[in-house]
Amino acid sequence: MPGVLNETPAFDPVEYYTKKLPLELVRLTELRDELRKRQGALTAVEEAQKDRKAAEMELAAAKSQAAEMLANAKAAEGKVKAKAAALDERDATSARAVAEANQAFLERGTALASREREVLLREAQAAIKDQSLAEVAAKLDEERNAFNAKVAAFQSMASQMQA
């Protein structure tokens, strides 16, 4: 049973303010510092989570941009390959056309050279014929003159016989 007498001493303010309060203030200051550290740690975690979310969003945006750039690059590569194939075909066609033109030029050159030889040969033959014709014409003129002289002599003889 509790005693009727107050066995616990009464509150002694001097002792409390001089001995216990400074200890409690030190504990409270330590507790306050610990709470600040923990609050700072919680804030750091929250900031880290925000940073992670921002980084995830930036990563997702970068991945979508990279995928879009890759798709554009593949489309451009396809166009470039198609143009390259068309240019290769055009080059091959022009090379064939040039080869055919060169072949036709060579054939025409050969034909022209043989025609020139034929013309030169014909001109030489014509010159020879002209000379032989000139000789024959000169001989014919001589024979005609001789014939005309004989005819004139015969006519003169015939006119002398008639007279």
Q: Tell me, what's the pLDDT at 8?
A: 66
Residue 33 has pLDDT above 60, yes or no: yes
pLDDT in tens, 113-158: 999 999 999 999 999 999 999 999 999 999 999 999 998 888 888 8
CA distance 15 to 114: 142
User: How far apart (Å, rounded) are the C-alpha atoms in residues 150 and 140?
Assistant: 15
Residue 51 CA to residue 47 CA, distance in Å, equals 6
pLDDT in tens, 45-99: 888 899 899 999 999 999 999 999 999 999 999 999 999 999 999 999 999 999 9
Q: What pTM did the predictor assign?
A: 0.40
Task: Provide the pLDDT for residue 16.
Answer: 83
Question: Residue 75 has what pLDDT?
Answer: 92
Sketch the domain layout of the chain as residue ranges: 14-132
- Integer-rounded Cα Rg, in Å, for the chain is 67
Q: What is the per-residue pLDDT across 39-56, written as a single tens digit (0 to 9) for each?
A: 877 788 888 899 899 999
Its sign, for the CA torsion 26, 28, 29, 33, is: positive
Please report how many Cα atoms fall inside a 13 Å half-sphere around the Cα of residue 67, on the Cβ side.
6
Residues in the chain: 163
115-137 per-residue burial string, b: 16 or more CB within 10 A, e: under 16: eeeeeeeeeeeeeeeeeeeeeee
Say yes or no to pLDDT of 159 above 90: no
Cα–Cα separations (whole angstroms), residue 47 to 33, 52, 60, 162: 21, 8, 20, 161
Enter the tokens of residue 66.
Answer: 């990279």
CA distance 40 to 54: 21
